[in-house]
Every structure is written in C-alpha cells, then in structure tokens.
Structure 1
Amino acid sequence: MIKVFIVDDSALVRQVLTSCLASHPRITVIGQAADPLYAIEKMRRDWPDVLVLDIEMPRMDGLTFLRQLMRERPTPTIICSTLTEQGNSVAVEALSAGAVGVFTKARLGLKQSLEALSAELIRKIEDGAKTRPRALPATLTAPGEDSRIAPVNRLRTTEKVVALGCSTGGTQALEFVLRQLPRDCPGIVIVQHMPEKFTADFARRLDKLCQIEVREARHLDRVHSGLALLAPGGLHMQLKRSGAHYQVEVVDGPPVNRHKPSVDVLFRSIARHAAPSALGMIMTGMGDDGARGLLAMRENGAQTIAQDEASCVVFGMPREAIKLGSAQAVEPLNKFSRLIQEFGDNARHG
C-alpha cells in the first residue's frame, strides 16, 4: 500500500482528493491537514510514502515547507495547486526544491476538475512512491553570486561537447552539477524530461544561479564553451556538426520512449556526429530513455558515465544504461562537475 498524506487549506479539496483516491486498491490516505505546521505533527506519528501538498496555505506556504522537508526528511511530494496553472515558474521552483511531480487544480469547477483528473493524480502518486528524494549537499557556488564579470573566450573550445540526460529528480541534480562548473567548461547539451513551457523558466532559473550561461535551446544554436543548452519541452533536440563547430537542431516529431524531448534522440545524434569528442552522462530518472543512445555513443568512441544508485532520486534510467553496458563508469552525483571539468581540461591539454 502507498500511504498518502494531503496538506491543503481547502476542506473541499481534501475531501475530494481523499474520495478520488479511496477506490484505488494500492493507495490509502492516512491523514490530512489544513497547513504544514499541523501536518508535520500528524506525519511524525505515521510517516507517509507520498505527500500531496498545496502551495498557498496559512502559517507556512508549501514551498517553504517542501524545502524544510527535503533538508530534514526527504519525502516524495506531489504539488497540487492552482498557482501552477498561473505560471510555470512556481512549478519549476517546486521541482527545483525537490518535488517529484506537479498537479494543477483548476480554480473553477474544482470538484469536477479534480475528479476528472484523478487518474493523472493516481499515476503521479504511484510514480512518486518509486522515487527516493535526497537532501543534496550545498553547491560550491553561493546562491545569487554574480560571477560573469570576467570576460570569457567563448570560442576557445568548440571541439568537445558534454551531453546530460535526466528525468525525475533531474531538476535538482542539474542545478547541483551546473552551479559548480567554471565559465570555461566545455559546451553542454541537456535533455531533462519536462512539460512544454516549463523548460524556459527552468533555464532562466539555472542561468541566474550558475557561472556558465544556461538557456533554452533554439534551432541552430551553436554549442560552445561556457554555455549549456536545454532542450525545449515538447520538442526534440539533436546535435549536428557545422564545419569545425557543433550546433543543435530543435525539431518536432513523435515521442521517443514516450518522451519529447527524448534523451535517446540527443545521444544518438551525438553518436553519429561527435562521439570521439563527447562525454555522455545519464542521470536520475524513471524508465529507460537514453540507455540505447548512450550505448551508441560508447560504441562510437565517446566517454560515458551513469549516475550511481545511492545519489539518484530514481535509478531507472542509469540502471537500464548500466544493464545494457552503455556506461564506462558509474559515479555519484557529487563527482559529475569535476568529471566535466577534467574532460574539458584533457581536451585542451590533449
């Protein structure tokens, strides 16, 4: 059984959510509360497997509570809020704080909308129960530090490229890794499974926190040192060679491995066009997207690394890559930024 606890200041929402989940044979609602402070008292008596959490609440807002929870006792959390309908930045903040899913409740016709979306909520709860959120250590870069004053030679290294692929838990993992990278790191291309329109806000958040430039990729953007390009939600991103340089193509197409963007699409394009000059890293996430693409990269001469189980929120994607023989090495998340820097240093000095 998956034990669920609901925190929402609306008695109607708590009632409807409990009713929606009551008929599921593997889910039981063990408690509910109108605000986080009351919730934590009840949760300590019987800790849930999954928390369903609103954002706007009295005494303490949901994001503050989520951040505190992830520091003290990381728990799979689904954000269920009307705020995620108004702006994607709230959803991105929640995912970056450690939420494993976001569920939007409409302001109008609340009871009907929640009942209509109950299947989606159940799926998110079932997926959430498979995750293991972790309290990440502080990064080496202080939050808000403006470290882009010094000029950067953007053209210095165009021959090397780093590709990162991740899903559930990836928002936190990417922030942890990218915030530690120096401005002269190799060019980076990223696929993070994320809904359409979320990726632009996520890229802007990372760009504010990181020394390197981070932005959502545009069609035919050039890959260069000090830049990380994030595949847009709802589109695929692939790498192509253009003369002596690399650029990305942002294209539409059917989902691959049920995802768009797909890690496999990116990794396979790198295997075709840049493998001997590439480092591929598959990170936390559910499913097997990226495993075969990483194998193609390795077979064509790329360096390949999988995140280890102990540091993953979900070990699915790295596990499948390891089983397939795609990864040359299995490393903890706290080594990823150093490995990227070493890859860049070896490229410059080799």
Structure 2
Amino acid sequence: MAKIKVVVVDDSALVRSLLSEIINQQSDMQCIGAANDPLQAREMIRELNPDVITLDVEMPKMDGLEFLSRLMKLRPMPVVMVSTLTEQGADTTLRALEMGAVDFVAKPRIGVSSGLKALGEEIVDKIRIASQARVSRHIAAVTPTLARAPETASGAPRPSSLGRLSTEKIICIGASTGGTEAIKEILVELPADAPGIVITQHMPPGFTTSFAARLDSLCRIRVQEAVDGQRILPGHAYIAPGGKQFSIARSGANYVAVVDDSPPVNRHKPSVEVLFKSCARVLGPNAIGVMLTGMGGDGGAAMKEMLDAGSHNIVQDEASCVVFGMPKVAIQHGAASEVLPLKRIAPALLERLQSAGAVRHRI
C-alpha cells in the first residue's frame, strides 16, 4: 500500500523536525518535505504532490490563513492546521475550518518538544483521516457575518417562526471531522423559536468557547457552551465543552444539561455516545437525532437506542460528508430514519417540526 505523503509547513525548525520525526515513525506515512514558509511550501506542493499538508497559522511572508485560502481556491487538498491553544488561536482555527481545512491540532505554547511528542498519536490519526477526506474548491473563504438572512441555502424563504410547538422536542446533534461547518449550515437555517438543541462536536478544551460564540453571532437562535445544571430552553443550542462529557437529564418538567468530568468513551471526551444514550433514556419520542460527518463510529450504537426509544433520526449522506465514518456506522446499526445530503437536513428538520406542531395544535 502506498504511503501517505505529507508536507510539513511551519516557521519553527524545531516543530518541523518534531513533526517530520513523528510522521516518519509511522509505517503508512512519510514526510516528503518540510517548508519554513508558504512560498517554499507552494513550490514543494508543485514538485512533490503530497496527499496531506500540515500548516502552521503564524508564519513570515504570508500567514497560514492567506495561504490556505489561495490553496483551497486553486488546488484543493487535505490540510491539517497546527494552531496555538489561545483564544485568538481558536478563532483563527475556526476560520481555517471555514476555508476548507479538514482538522486541526493544538500545539502547546510551552514545552513544545514534549508536548508535540505527547500529541503524536493524535497528529498521525488526523493526518490519516485527512488523507481520506473529501475536499472541495472554496471560492468564498469566510462566512458572511450577516447570517440572519431571509432565505435558506436552497433559496426558499426561511420560516420566521415555527408557531405553536411543543417545548418537549429536543434536536440532538453529533459530529466530528468536518462537523463545525456542517453544524453551522444547519443552525443558521433555524428560526429563533426552534426547539432546544444539544450538540456534541469532537473538539478539545479551549476551542468550544470560540466555536459557540462564532455560531451565536451567525444564528437567530442563541448558541452557548453547555453549563452543568442549566435548563435546556427553546431557541437555544448547547455545545458540549471540550474535555468534558455532556448529557441531558430530567428535572421535574424540565430538561437540564449535565456536564461532568467522567472518562472518555470511544476515546472521546466529549463523546456523542454519552449524549445520545442520555437522549434515548430521557427524551424517547421527543428527540430528533442528527448524525453528521466524522471519523470513527462514536454514537452509532446509541443512535439506534434513540430510534428504538421512538426518536426520528436523520443521518448525513456519504456524498456530502467530509469523512463518512460516524454516519456510516449509524446506518450500519440501523439507526437512520432518513439519510440526507447536508443541505437537506435543516429543511427536513423544519418540515418535521412544523408537522408535529400542526398535529399538536389540532389536538
């Protein structure tokens, strides 16, 4: 089997050396070049035709975002960002994902040598995933800041209200690689009075705060990191904090968030399995499950439990996934009520909610 060819782009000689060493220790991949700036990287990409590049954000001559933007317009290819674990670094990383980067690794600010070596398994896993990812040409690199537009992505008028809906309904979303953009595409279509939404997106500590804030600025619903004990309200979306497990529970007539430090499940913290199991147990037929793009199988078995408990489940189709892992496993478990392209998921949610609201109103 041919090895995955990787070009490392970073202005730090130490980081280039460490990443090259980590990559070359793997039997299935090879670092075929290491560039200290985007201009050198451009020539390496032309000459060496890598399968994946790792890309630092802050570099001389041209910053990583500008280089990524040009790359995804002219020669789309899988990119794994290497970003600093700071608030500014998190914001920049989210912009990189918008521009088409497949995933990212947060490098430590201190103890770079030991820190990167400790992240070795995560780094090579993400390179492997990136090598299988679908990437497409990105012309519009950044999402417009004015997202409360009157039309859906399909051009149909956005509903300004879902009317008289049961506050019992909860939309439950799980995602991993490629999920930040998929989640955004769904949430921006929803009206301000949408049911409560609970989300687990695989993401490390330090990034989910920026992710929630970014979505909150774009959506008509309010979006925030989940806080232990808070009530799940209509018109709000709650994102699992990085490095914590997120589930829901019932408290009297209310649904509430449970955020704790319990161990990883399926190697993930937060884990979709944890959230979806609680949704099956607590919500039953009041749940609408959504499984989006991602590597692996986290949440597939629990999504089947949701279906068995009466939920309606929507799974993203292969053609629109960045990585068809978690949706594929959910389908294999028989957990899908519908399998839809990403652009059809928000309309399908609205149609189902409007139908449920109409039935409830007649009753």
Which residue in 2 is equivalent to 1:190? Answer: 199
Structure 1 residue 313 and structure 2 residue 315: aligned?
no
Identify the match of residue 339 of structure 2 among 322, 330, 340. Answer: 330
Identify the match of residue 65 of structure 2 among 60, 63, 66. Answer: 63
Deviates more, 1:151-160 or 1:239-248: 151-160
Structure 1 residue 145 and structure 2 residue 143: aligned?
no
- After superposition, the C-alpha distances for 1:199-233 in whole angstroms (9 at most, x for unaligned) are 11110111112121110011222223221111112
Which residue in 2 is equivalent to 1:48? Answer: 50
In the TM superposition, residue 328 of structure 1 has moved relative to its aligned partner by 1.4
Identify the match of residue 25 of structure 1 among 16, 19, 27. Answer: 27
Which residue in 2 is equivalent to 1:180? Answer: 189
Identify the match of residue 9 of structure 2 among 3, 7, 10. Answer: 7
Which residue in 1 is equivalent to 2:285? Answer: 276
Give the secondary-structure state (helix, strand or coil) at the position aligned to 2:314: strand
TM-score for both structures, normalised by structure 2 = 0.84
Structure 1 residue 347 and structure 2 residue 356: aligned?
yes
Q: CA RMSD in A?
A: 3.1
Determine the C-alpha separation between the residues in 2 that align with 1:116 and 1:163. 33
Give the secondary-structure state (helix, strand or coil) at the position aligned to 1:80: strand
In the TM superposition, residue 246 of structure 1 has moved relative to its aligned partner by 2.5
* Counterparts of residues 243-322 of structure 1 (less than 5 Å): 243-322=252-331
- After superposition, the C-alpha distances for 1:119-153 in whole angstroms (9 at most, x for unaligned) are 443333233323333457979x97222749xx999
Deviates more, 1:171-180 or 1:282-291: 171-180
Determine the C-alpha separation between the residues in 1 that align with 2:143 and 2:89. 26
Determine the C-alpha separation between the residues in 1 that align with 2:222 and 2:50. 39
Which residue in 1 is equivalent to 2:153? Answer: none
Q: Indicate if the aligned counterparts of 2:162 and 2:191 stay in contact, CA closer than 8 A.
A: no
Corresponding letter in the other structure for 2:4: I
* Counterparts of residues 124-135 of structure 1 (less than 5 Å): 124-134=126-136
Deviates more, 1:91-100 or 1:215-224: 91-100
Determine the C-alpha separation between the residues in 2 that align with 1:210 and 1:192. 17
In the TM superposition, residue 343 of structure 1 has moved relative to its aligned partner by 2.3
Paired residues in the alignment total: 347
- After superposition, the C-alpha distances for 1:17-45 in whole angstroms (9 at most, x for unaligned) are 33443343322223333332442343134
Compared with structure 1, are the counterparts of its residues 305 and 86 closer, same or farther at alpha carbon in structure 2 (3 Å cutoff)? Answer: closer
Corresponding letter in the other structure for 2:194: C
Compared with structure 1, are the counterparts of its residues 50 and 142 closer, same or farther at alpha carbon in structure 2 (3 Å cutoff)? Answer: closer
Q: Indicate if the aligned counterparts of 2:226 and 2:238 stay in contact, CA closer than 8 A.
A: yes
Compared with structure 1, are the counterparts of its residues 31 and 210 closer, same or farther at alpha carbon in structure 2 (3 Å cutoff)? Answer: same
Compared with structure 1, are the counterparts of its residues 104 and 214 closer, same or farther at alpha carbon in structure 2 (3 Å cutoff)? Answer: closer
Compared with structure 1, are the counterparts of its residues 123 and 227 closer, same or farther at alpha carbon in structure 2 (3 Å cutoff)? Answer: same
Structure 1 residue 212 and structure 2 residue 205: aligned?
no
Determine the C-alpha separation between the residues in 2 that align with 1:109 and 1:241. 43
Compared with structure 1, are the counterparts of its residues 81 and 160 closer, same or farther at alpha carbon in structure 2 (3 Å cutoff)? Answer: closer
In the TM superposition, residue 326 of structure 1 has moved relative to its aligned partner by 0.6
In the TM superposition, residue 266 of structure 1 has moved relative to its aligned partner by 1.4
Deviates more, 1:240-249 or 1:158-167: 240-249
Identify the match of residue 34 of structure 1 among 30, 33, 36. Answer: 36
Deviates more, 1:151-160 or 1:264-273: 151-160
- After superposition, the C-alpha distances for 1:281-317 in whole angstroms (9 at most, x for unaligned) are 1111111111111111111111011111111111111
In the TM superposition, residue 116 of structure 1 has moved relative to its aligned partner by 5.9
Which residue in 1 is equivalent to 2:154? Answer: none
In the TM superposition, residue 84 of structure 1 has moved relative to its aligned partner by 5.2
Compared with structure 1, are the counterparts of its residues 166 and 153 closer, same or farther at alpha carbon in structure 2 (3 Å cutoff)? Answer: closer
Determine the C-alpha separation between the residues in 2 that align with 1:249 and 1:83. 26
Which contiguous aligned blocks of 4+ residues in structure 1 show a shift greater than 6 angstroms? 136-139, 151-155
Deviates more, 1:56-65 or 1:297-306: 56-65
Compared with structure 1, are the counterparts of its residues 67 and 154 closer, same or farther at alpha carbon in structure 2 (3 Å cutoff)? Answer: farther
In the TM superposition, residue 87 of structure 1 has moved relative to its aligned partner by 4.5
Deviates more, 1:274-283 or 1:105-114: 105-114
* Counterparts of residues 223-238 of structure 1 (less than 5 Å): 223-238=232-247
Deviates more, 1:195-204 or 1:130-139: 130-139
- After superposition, the C-alpha distances for 1:226-280 in whole angstroms (9 at most, x for unaligned) are 2111111222222223444422222331222221222122112221222212210
Which residue in 1 is equivalent to 2:212? Answer: 203
Structure 2: 5+ residue runs without aligned partners?
150-159
Determine the C-alpha separation between the residues in 1 that align with 2:189 and 2:319. 20
In the TM superposition, residue 107 of structure 1 has moved relative to its aligned partner by 5.8
Corresponding letter in the other structure for 1:127: I
Give the secondary-structure state (helix, strand or coil) at the position aligned to 1:344: helix
Determine the C-alpha separation between the residues in 2 that align with 1:257 and 1:105. 23
Q: Indicate if the aligned counterparts of 1:214 and 1:227 stay in contact, CA closer than 8 A.
A: yes
